[in-house]
Structure 1
Amino acid sequence: MFSSNVRLHALALACAASCASLAHAQGVATDTELAPVVVTGKSGGARGGLQNLAPGLPGSTASKTAEQLRDQNLFNPEDALQYAPNTTVRKRYIGDRNALIAGRSFGTLQPSRALVYLDGYLISNFLGRFDAPRWNMISPEAIERVDMLYGPYSALFPGNSIGTTVAVSQRVPKGFEASGRVIAARQSFDQYGHQDHYAAQQMSWHLGQKLDTGLWFTGDVNHQDSTSQPMQYGAVSADTSTNAFPSYASQSATPTPVTGVVYDTDAKGLRRAIFGANAGAIDHTVQDTVNLRAGYRFTPTVEASAMASWWGNTTKMSNVTFLRDSAGNPVWQGARVQAQKTVNGVTTSSRPYYLVSHEGHLFELPPTSFAPSTRDESHQQLGATLKSRNASGWNGSVVVSDYRILNDESRQASSPDPVAFGSGSSGTLTRRDGTGWNTFEVQGTWTPSPGDWTNGRHALAFGLHRNAYKLDNTVAATTNWRQGEGTLSQYYRGKTEVVALYAQDAWRLQDDLKLTLGWREEQFRAFDGSQFALNQTEIYPQRTLRGHSPKAALAWSVRDDLILKLSAGRGVRFPNVEELYNGTVTSTTRTFSDPDLKPETSDAVELSAEKSWEAQRLRVSLFHDDVKDAILRQSTTDATVCKTVSTSTTTLNSYTCVQNVDRVKTTGVEFAWQAQELLISGVSLDASLAFTNSRIKANAQDPTSVGKWWLRVPRERATVQAGYQLNADWRFSAGYRHEGRAYNDVYNADINPNVYGGVS
């Protein structure tokens, strides 16, 4: 341990040698960059001293140790980020597999701007819009610390680091250890008159051992059973021009009269009718995880480690209808009526609609509105690391990993719950078997010894990185939605590969001044891309793109307790395989991807100040992010916005397209404060506050959006977490999180955020 009067820059250098073992399974260059600094002042009770990453790192950071994570309900691994500064985790319920990350300049609609590593192995799932990092590969009991790096300022990380980079480190046992955990949750839910209770349970076991021979191993088993509250609702909103519901000119049967429709005002301020929790709204998920890790030290300076993880999930998604007929029976679909529909002054040709009537209004309620679904999937990840650990001089490492979706079977019914789960119905089967990614990383470093850090000395890091993603998404029509392979109706497939060379030099200009320069050169390749839908096949040619990412950071230790840092960097985020090739078609929607998408290019700059006291730390950061060709996925009913859509296609309810936005600029300020022994002995406090302005500055494809707020980036975020160590056995804690105004509509038309469908 070090006393708080040691100069912080010397402390960081010493930790590069003595603390590197804490980041035990990453590349040697990443080890050095993520080596924690420990500053101790007054006794912090059970929590010890303040810990953070080295202050000389390029860009701002945030950290949580295992002890600090005890101050929050760590039900799932992603909960470790809930109180991180200026960060959002889109976890809607316990067991949510789509817990996406959002940060300073990006929302949860841009998940590919966040990198997540587990012991140096990439668990970021850059395959689809709602493919979140594979958090399940993390064992909550084994988490040693979580470190976050903001912005594209380090050359060691791929272009997806233009947002946030998360590094989760799991502990290595120091001897024999065994533990277990049982945790449960229950919530009361009341929305639109529907009341219910939903529960979650989790059991886990952890076993570890370290032998005198240098061999260590751990095993973790986790079982979780949880049910979500309703995730979405079947609804119809009024016309944007008249604020009146769409009208139907019935030409045959009589629509079904119903009661139970709930009316409210939607996010855009329009009158809305709610029919129930639909589209597989309630998710009952059972998940099992097995994580195995092992390592061996061949010599005092050479060691290897490996991991093997398996995760399985079975899901049943059901629905709730609010509607009742005259006899009080539930109504799940409307009567089939031949009619013409008029919406926003446009009348369609006559075709069949499934209609219900309520208080003089006609509403469309097709059989698919309350159709249930199931999912059965199993995932596997394998990884291995070999590295040297010399205290100074040359070091090297090799890290390889492979993530594979062994089985992914998603079945969707075409009829509502009573029919689908009763006599059965037709449906669709979506498969992604064999989909996954693999990574390869070779790193080398040269570091002077701690006593050799004279003026003008350099610490070097360099490496070769490769990652490759494969997506194979097929859809088949089935006569029985619960079994059988069916007949192929559509697919989209493709592969991407990124190969990068990088180098970074930390140059000690003076005792109190360090300049870090870096360069990352990346080559992106998209190939084997194809689509099949509506009996048409598209084969896309191979594309090759280049990315050039210079980095620079200057850190000045003004005093022993004050560091100023100026960081600048470019990051190039290439489009993921789903953004390039997804061509999904349903009965009411169609997705248009763009195989010619440009990569997002972020030019970011940050000025930060970090002040330390005996038992407190305050960081203030000013940041600016200028993103060119930002990738936007937009769902709209306006066929003119998705330029690849024919405006005569009037039978679809909405279109989804992926496009480049010419320029988005984000500017903000961020505060992060940690304190121990605050006023009362045993009291600790972590708090953060951020103000952000993120707007579209240029968009030739859709000029109406210029000047609007960028999607799902709130104007302010705030967190506060307080802990109290009563004695050696008892600790109490409380936390609060806040997010301010944000938008879900590219034109910021969602003026009423505090309702279902709003973002607030």
Structure 2
Amino acid sequence: MTPNLSPLATAISLSLATAYACADEATMQTVIVNSTRSALDPDLPNTSVVKTQEELRQQQNIFNPEDALRNMPSMTIRKRYSGDRNALVGGRSFSTTQAPRALVTMDGYLLSNFLGRFDAPRWNMIAPEEITRVEVLYGPFSALYPGNAIGATIAVSTSRPTTFGGSVRVAMQDQSFAQYGDQDHYRNYQGSAIIGDKLASGLWYKLMLNHQDSTSQPMGYYTVTANAAGVFPAPAGGGAATPVTGIGYDTGPFGTRRAIFGANAGAVDHTRQNTVKATFGYDFSPALVAEGFVAWWGNQSVTRNRTFLRDAAGNSVWSGRVTDGVNVFALPASAFAPYTRDEHHAQAGLTVKTHHKSGWNASVSASTYRILDDVQRNAGSADPFAASGGAGNAVVRDGSGFNSIDLQTSYTPAAGDWTGGAHALAFGLHADDYKLKQTTRNTADWRNASGPEAQFVGGETQVLAAYAQDAWRFAPHWQATLGLRAESWQATNGAQRTPGTALSYPRRSEQAWSPKFSLAWDASADTTVRLSAGRGTRFATVAELFQGTAVGSSIVVNVPTLKPERSNALELMAEQRYAFGGLRASLFQDDVRDTIWSQLNLNVFPNVTNVQNIGRVRTRGLELVGQVDRLGIPGLSAEANIAFSKSTILENDNYQPSIGKNWARVPRVRSATTLTYAPTDVWSVSASYRYSGAQFNEINNSDYNTDVYGAVSRVSQLDVRLLVKPARNTEVAIGVDNLNNNRAYQLHPYPGRTLSLEARYAF
């Protein structure tokens, strides 16, 4: 078991803060670690953290875009393996299964995908090579962002050409993974190419291609849990049991004994993904520009399973009654059933905006996302038999998608106008809609998706919003930001069909007013203190309302009457900037009524997910973020963050035993520390250590045995990276993620030690 390194993480972070007081101010360059003047808007009242392209390349091994968030303060990324399409985001007060509390954009276009419970933001529309900046905004304090930003807003910016040029990048990973006596290496490959130009006419373009071929470590295991006395009850029915070897035993998250039979439910995922994107723009004049993009993403996944069981002749055993001479078990035929998935998605967006340095500006931005085709074929029998066909089912989501449009006008005072009570104003309208269409078909041959409809689920949600925000510099060194967002939500066309039964859900609508207030004081040129308060409303997604299904090894129970989440948030932030770095401290509270919670139970087969409202959950915490440009040695710099939080369930009429318990999947401690040594421009070496404490997955906190498969464990991992520039415009990097090979879980196991190689050439 990995030792608890939380004290070490705390000590490292606090030692950096202490180092600030000892550094030589006269020889260092100012670096603001907390960007209070965001590139997104000059007057956002949110605390934010920024990572630039140069910092990311120097500090981290980035295979997928979401890797850029790994070391951000108070962030959790549920990336189970490279190529994972379900890389969900967790934040200060919300877990990775509450992904609709994080809003993700690419160049202002909506990437947040709420069509399925475990559908992550569409990171696939971005190549790591084109990221220029990643910014995280915390809390619902700006009226400019919708209710899905009540936890965090993640804004990814991509490159724009200024002259003819491009780049080519290749990367690979080799992961060593061992679990329950099963050991193997899993390799991932990725290549990307970018070319672009800005013409004299004002037209610019960029073309991006990205291909990756990834294979996961086993994601799940078929288990049988003993009763409270530690006894495995004999299975129903008669018949002889096949003597086998290979059954393993351990203790599960609830402290009960369990038996493990092999990696199941499509455990090893081999995925091939391709992205093609064209980005373009035209400068009509220095003050009027248009830009847009068209992107296509495709994925082909083939999964396989592994049984640990062998009979007396050494043959693999996949199903039926088995015994190890002590216990008898019955393995269902579908326990080790594989699946395949083929999908193609498309997205397009267009923005027209003005660029006046002061005075009035306006913009209109629209985007659309479509699942062109998406078919998951689920076998009904175990791997070796499924290869020959046989009955199964298919899940089809063709035609699902989402749209978004924003209209905004803003006023910026001219330079020097801030004295005497100047106002920076923003007014806007927003609309988005999500449509889910999901059909399950029974198939005579699971390899073919055709067959009679077994179930249909679908529906739509729409949000219309209007907002206003005023950043008022009412006195020297003082600024008040006042905002109000009005939102109207409705759910329509909700339906479920099974043979002989059709259920239509009535139309629902909700309205919300979300006021915002922030007061900032520049106590000196280097010191800022800000108090922010805001309310945010997050409405139920189309998946939470309507996506009740029973497919393969998974059952989902939907709730069409879910109430919206209402967050009342507070933050007191103080930032001190030095010539050699900076330090920020944030006290925060998030008090949420009617929290929407999706509870996944992996400890039963089939797995069951239930959705419900939790009456009230309150999170309080302290976040420290610091950066030092030099630690006594030229070229040596450091940055660190640590967050302490306490999330408590205060009200829950649906389940009284949860009251007073810790909220699920929000750790008490999260930290990340990065040391970088760059003595010249030719090479650098970085090491990052991140830690998060153990968490509960059950809201009654009964899963106390956390460092095992099926639980939400501690994470204690060290990453290293060496970057070398052997020639002009050429970069080569070698690194290792999880160098200490920490075994960690978020129900599914996280990757083991992973070697990373990367080469990049720009022209």
1:30 paired residue number: none
- Which of 376, 379, 397 aligns to 1:432? It is 397
Query: In the TM superposition, what is the alpha-carbon distance from 1:50 to its structure 2 partner?
Result: 6.3
SS of alignment partner, residue 160 of structure 1 = helix
Deviates more, 1:118-127 or 1:723-732: 723-732
Matched residues, number:
684
Question: 2:280 & 2:26 partners in 1: Cα distance?
Answer: 36
Q: Deviations over 1:271-317 (max 9, x none)?
A: 01000000000000000011110111101100000101111000001
1:360 paired residue number: 326
1:22 paired residue number: none
1:669 paired residue number: 622
- Listed as ranges, the matches of 1:496-511 within 5 Å are 496-511=461-476
- Which of 108, 116, 119 aligns to 1:131? It is 119
Question: 2:31 & 2:373 partners in 1: Cα distance?
Answer: 45
Question: 1:590 & 1:452 partners in 2: Cα distance?
Answer: 60
Q: Is the 8 A contact 1:570 1:601 kept in 2?
A: yes
Q: Is the 8 A contact 1:721 1:733 kept in 2?
A: yes
Is residue 2:692 matched to residue 1:726?
A: no
Q: Is the 8 A contact 1:533 1:585 kept in 2?
A: no
Structure 1 residues 482 and 668: CA distance shift in structure 2, 3 A:
same
- Which of 62, 66, 89 aligns to 2:49? It is 62
The one-letter code sitting in structure 2 at the alignment partner of 1:594 is V
Q: Deviations over 1:314-333 (max 9, x none)?
A: 00010000001111100011
- Listed as ranges, the matches of 1:14-29 within 5 Å are none
Q: Is the 8 A contact 1:587 1:652 kept in 2?
A: no
Is residue 2:261 matched to residue 1:275?
A: yes
- Which of 470, 487, 509 aligns to 2:452? It is 487
Q: Is the 8 A contact 1:631 1:660 kept in 2?
A: yes
Is residue 2:107 matched to residue 1:119?
A: yes
- Listed as ranges, the matches of 1:185-200 within 5 Å are 185-200=173-188
Structure 1 residues 278 and 608: CA distance shift in structure 2, 3 A:
same
- Which of 455, 459, 477 aligns to 2:442? It is 477
Is residue 2:596 matched to residue 1:596?
A: no
1:694 paired residue number: 647
Query: In the TM superposition, what is the alpha-carbon distance from 1:370 to its structure 2 partner?
Result: 0.4
1:345 paired residue number: none
Question: 2:372 & 2:606 partners in 1: Cα distance?
Answer: 34
Structure 1 residues 41 and 374: CA distance shift in structure 2, 3 A:
farther
Question: 1:187 & 1:659 partners in 2: Cα distance?
Answer: 38
What are structure 2's unaligned runs of at least 5 residues? Answer: 1-24, 714-763
Question: 1:43 & 1:728 partners in 2: Cα distance?
Answer: 18
The one-letter code sitting in structure 1 at the alignment partner of 2:703 is D
- Which of 400, 412, 417 aligns to 2:366? It is 400
Query: In the TM superposition, what is the alpha-carbon distance from 1:447 to its structure 2 partner?
Result: 1.1
Question: 1:253 & 1:135 partners in 2: Cα distance?
Answer: 50
2:378 paired residue number: 412
Deviates more, 1:288-297 or 1:253-262: 253-262
Question: 1:212 & 1:653 partners in 2: Cα distance?
Answer: 61
Q: Deviations over 1:393-417 (max 9, x none)?
A: 1100000000111110100000111
Is residue 2:91 matched to residue 1:108?
A: no
- Which of 319, 322, 326 aligns to 1:333? It is 319
Question: 1:655 & 1:208 partners in 2: Cα distance?
Answer: 48
1:707 paired residue number: 660
Is residue 2:291 matched to residue 1:305?
A: yes
Deviates more, 1:508-517 or 1:676-685: 676-685
The one-letter code sitting in structure 1 at the alignment partner of 2:624 is F
Aligned Cα root-mean-square deviation (Å): 1.8
Query: In the TM superposition, what is the alpha-carbon distance from 1:729 to its structure 2 partner?
Result: 1.1
Query: In the TM superposition, what is the alpha-carbon distance from 1:41 to its structure 2 partner?
Result: 8.4
Q: Deviations over 1:556-600 (max 9, x none)?
A: 001111100000000100000011112212477643211111000
Deviates more, 1:626-635 or 1:457-466: 626-635
Q: Is the 8 A contact 1:590 1:652 kept in 2?
A: no
Query: In the TM superposition, what is the alpha-carbon distance from 1:467 to its structure 2 partner?
Result: 0.4
Q: Is the 8 A contact 2:235 2:330 kept in 1?
A: no
Q: Is the 8 A contact 1:243 1:270 kept in 2?
A: yes
What are structure 1's unaligned runs of at least 5 residues? Answer: 1-39, 335-354, 639-650
Query: In the TM superposition, what is the alpha-carbon distance from 1:653 to its structure 2 partner?
Result: 5.8
2:306 paired residue number: 320
SS of alignment partner, residue 247 of structure 1 = coil
The one-letter code sitting in structure 1 at the alignment partner of 2:368 is D
The one-letter code sitting in structure 1 at the alignment partner of 2:474 is L
SS of alignment partner, residue 585 of structure 1 = strand
The one-letter code sitting in structure 2 at the alignment partner of 1:225 is D
Question: 1:142 & 1:255 partners in 2: Cα distance?
Answer: 57
Question: 1:121 & 1:249 partners in 2: Cα distance?
Answer: 55
Question: 1:699 & 1:359 partners in 2: Cα distance?
Answer: 46
Query: In the TM superposition, what is the alpha-carbon distance from 1:363 to its structure 2 partner?
Result: 1.7
Query: In the TM superposition, what is the alpha-carbon distance from 1:652 to its structure 2 partner?
Result: 8.0
Question: 1:746 & 1:519 partners in 2: Cα distance?
Answer: 33
Is residue 2:349 matched to residue 1:383?
A: yes
The one-letter code sitting in structure 2 at the alignment partner of 1:281 is A
1:9 paired residue number: none
Question: 1:589 & 1:74 partners in 2: Cα distance?
Answer: 32
Structure 1 residues 569 and 418: CA distance shift in structure 2, 3 A:
same
- Which of 83, 86, 92 aligns to 2:71? It is 83
Query: In the TM superposition, what is the alpha-carbon distance from 1:535 to its structure 2 partner?
Result: 4.5
1:27 paired residue number: none
Query: In the TM superposition, what is the alpha-carbon distance from 1:172 to its structure 2 partner?
Result: 1.3
SS of alignment partner, residue 549 of structure 2 = coil
Q: Is the 8 A contact 2:31 2:580 kept in 1?
A: no
- Which of 286, 292, 316 aligns to 2:278? It is 292
Structure 1 residues 503 and 470: CA distance shift in structure 2, 3 A:
same
The one-letter code sitting in structure 1 at the alignment partner of 2:50 is S
SS of alignment partner, residue 550 of structure 2 = coil
2:213 paired residue number: 225
Q: Deviations over 1:322-366 (max 9, x none)?
A: 0011111000111xxxxxxxxxxxxxxxxxxxx222233122311
Structure 1 residues 586 and 403: CA distance shift in structure 2, 3 A:
closer
Q: Is the 8 A contact 1:380 1:406 kept in 2?
A: yes
- Which of 249, 259, 270 aligns to 1:263? It is 249
Q: Deviations over 1:162-198 (max 9, x none)?
A: 1110011112112111210111110111110001110
Question: 2:608 & 2:176 partners in 1: Cα distance?
Answer: 35
- Which of 734, 748, 751 aligns to 2:704? It is 751
Query: In the TM superposition, what is the alpha-carbon distance from 1:538 to its structure 2 partner?
Result: 1.1
- Listed as ranges, the matches of 1:41-56 within 5 Å are 52-54=35-37
TM-score normalised to the size of structure 1? 0.88
Higher relative contact order (CA 8 A, sep 6+): 2
Query: In the TM superposition, what is the alpha-carbon distance from 1:672 to its structure 2 partner?
Result: 0.8
Query: In the TM superposition, what is the alpha-carbon distance from 1:237 to its structure 2 partner?
Result: 1.0
- Which of 321, 340, 352 aligns to 1:374? It is 340
- Which of 119, 142, 156 aligns to 2:130? It is 142
The one-letter code sitting in structure 2 at the alignment partner of 1:60 is T
Question: 1:753 & 1:534 partners in 2: Cα distance?
Answer: 42
Q: Deviations over 1:687-732 (max 9, x none)?
A: 1000110011100011111111111001110001111112121111
SS of alignment partner, residue 118 of structure 2 = coil
The one-letter code sitting in structure 2 at the alignment partner of 1:380 is A
Structure 1 residues 303 and 653: CA distance shift in structure 2, 3 A:
closer
Q: Is the 8 A contact 2:33 2:625 kept in 1?
A: no
Q: Is the 8 A contact 1:50 1:615 kept in 2?
A: no
Query: In the TM superposition, what is the alpha-carbon distance from 1:735 to its structure 2 partner?
Result: 0.9
TM-score normalised to the size of structure 2? 0.87
Q: Is the 8 A contact 2:377 2:449 kept in 1?
A: no
